[in-house]
Amino acid sequence: MRELRPSARCVALLLIVGLTGCAEGTPAVTPRTLHAIGDSILAWHGEEGASIPHVAARTLGWNVRNEAVGGTRVLGGDEAIPTQLPEEAAPWVLVNGGLNDVNITCDCGACREVLDALVSEDGRAGGMPTLVRGIRARGSRVLVLGYYAFPPGAAFGVARCGDEMHGLNLRLARMAAAHEGVTFVRASPWVSPTHTELYDGDGVHPSRRGAERLGAALAEAVRAEDRR
């Protein structure tokens, strides 16, 4: 067998073990980027670089672009969640949304029409399925983060939204099952009213510790899907 020259040996090593370079001047491999769009659950702690998307990306060794904005909705309004998506594609896009739609539009009461507009019971129609199909068409895979339960004292009227969030989570899970390349991640195993330290003082947003737990769970979901 012919002996590899140094340059060829370098190429072989790059292909086998993914080294960033074996000679001075070889450019480093650019880390992958996680894009995030959604509401304040994803935006919280963003200014400190400690939001859920920041934690997930850091755990993966990736870059992050967090475009989530507090108070935003899936179904229209200022800075609607579908409009947050950056023009360039990324390997993975993290998405959440729907709480503000049902809280603002129908006071988390008789919200069947709003839930149907967000995502149908079978997960195939509505604003969220349309959004994830658009993301998939760009070649990105999609992580959808569900909502955790809120404690009785949660602010902004969110304490009344338990039934609606449970129903929305079920529909989002069905949506992920109906679309290839879409993964639903439940939040409730990681943030629960039985552990109040995982919430910020308003009882709605995650504390730094809560964001760490959710970010780590999302990173593990990405790793699990990438291993398939």
pLDDT digits (tens, 9 = 90+) for 29-54: 678 999 999 999 999 999 999 999 99
Average pLDDT over residues 17-32: 56
Task: Decide if pLDDT at 14 tops 50.
Answer: no
Report how far residue 7's alpha carbon sits from residue 179's, in angstroms, rounded to the nearest whole number: 44
Q: What dihedral do alpha carbons 141, 98, 145, 58 form, nearest 10°? A: 80
CA 20, 24, 27, 28 torsion: positive or negative? Answer: positive
Looking at residue 31, what is its pLDDT? 86
Q: What is the pLDDT of residues 73-118, one digit of tens each?
A: 999 999 999 999 999 999 999 999 999 999 999 999 999 999 999 9
pLDDT of residue 25: 54
Q: Tell me: pLDDT of 19 over 80.
A: no
Task: Tell how strand 63-66 and strand 92-95 pair up.
Answer: unpaired
User: For 31-227, which CATH class?
Assistant: alpha beta
The pLDDT assigned to 27 comes to 57
Return residue ranges of the chain for CATH 3.40.50.1110: 31-227
Nearest-CA neighbor of 191 among 172, 202, 176, 207? 207
CA distances 146 to 41, 87, 123, 169, Å, are 10, 25, 14, 6
151: left (phi over 0), alpha (psi -120 to 50) or beta: beta
Tell me: the pLDDT tens digits for 133-156? 999 999 999 999 999 999 999 999
Structure confidence by residue, pLDDT tens digits, 176-221:
999 999 999 999 999 999 999 999 999 999 999 999 999 999 999 9
